[in-house]
Amino acid sequence: MIAAPMRLPLFVNRENKYLAGAIMYAIGYACYYFTNHHPVFTPRELPMNWIDLNTPFLPWSVLIYISEYFYFAFVYILLRDYDNINKYLYSFFLLQVVSCGIFFVFPTIYPRELFPVPTDLPQWLQATWSWLRTQDAATNCLPSLHVSSVYLSAFAFLSENRRKMFWTFFIWSTAIALSTLTTKQHYLADIVSGLAFSVVFYTWFHTKQSYSRIVPLEVEVRSS
């Protein structure tokens, strides 16, 4: 006898949306921080291809790179359909967990020492770089969670048939993905694998996975 596929509960509603989001993001960040700053195994460098070697180091592009930290808040506030929000949180959370599992067993590192931050930058930009390279160690490269997380978030608007919002955030995601190269935070392979992960997790949790409702649907959602 074949067991029925597991149905995940739709537990997020209007009252707990932001609490649930905060808890999910906090757990995901804790997983990332531990594997990023405390690798158990020795991280290894990946081979650089032509694009890795010839993409210029553009210090100002760090502003695009760190815009990710505002990006997720905008996406989560703008999503309207609570069923879709549930699916987004499941996909986002499991993306973090699976990626951090890869970081644990196959840690990778980027040779940042080859690209020192220029000393003639404005003080505020120097401070931004100092904060980033302290906060985000050179490990946890493959796959790029920076890339997979933003594209996965943009795809969530497709489930609400909000094409304008999707394209707005897709373009923003692409700018962030490119900035991972120009800030010398990631290899091209990290970007490609990150995008692939976003497609896989979106497809599974938004179109394949079964769900069961455990709370009443309180808001009739309109598509824009």
Model confidence over 143-201: pLDDT tens digits? Answer: 999 999 999 999 999 999 999 999 999 999 999 999 999 999 999 999 999 999 999 99
pLDDT, tens digit (0-9, with 9 covering 90-100), for 90-138:
999 999 999 999 999 999 999 999 999 999 999 999 999 999 998 999 9
Question: What six digits make up the tokens of 83?
Answer: 């069923």
Report which of 181, 183, 107 is spatially closest to residue 141, judged by C-alpha positions.
Answer: 107
Whether residue 222 is predicted with pLDDT greater than 60 in this model: the reply is no
Structure pTM? 0.91
CA angle 47, 183, 95 (to 5 degrees): 75
The domain segmentation of the chain, as residue ranges, is: 12-210
How many alpha carbons lie under 13 Å from residue 5 in its C-beta half-sphere?
A: 9
Burial of 98 (0-12, 13-18, 19+ CB in 10 A): middle
Separation CA 157–CA 78 (nearest Å): 9
pLDDT band at residue 216 using 50, 70 and 90 as cut-offs: low
Residues 125, 60: contact at Cβ < 8 Å? yes
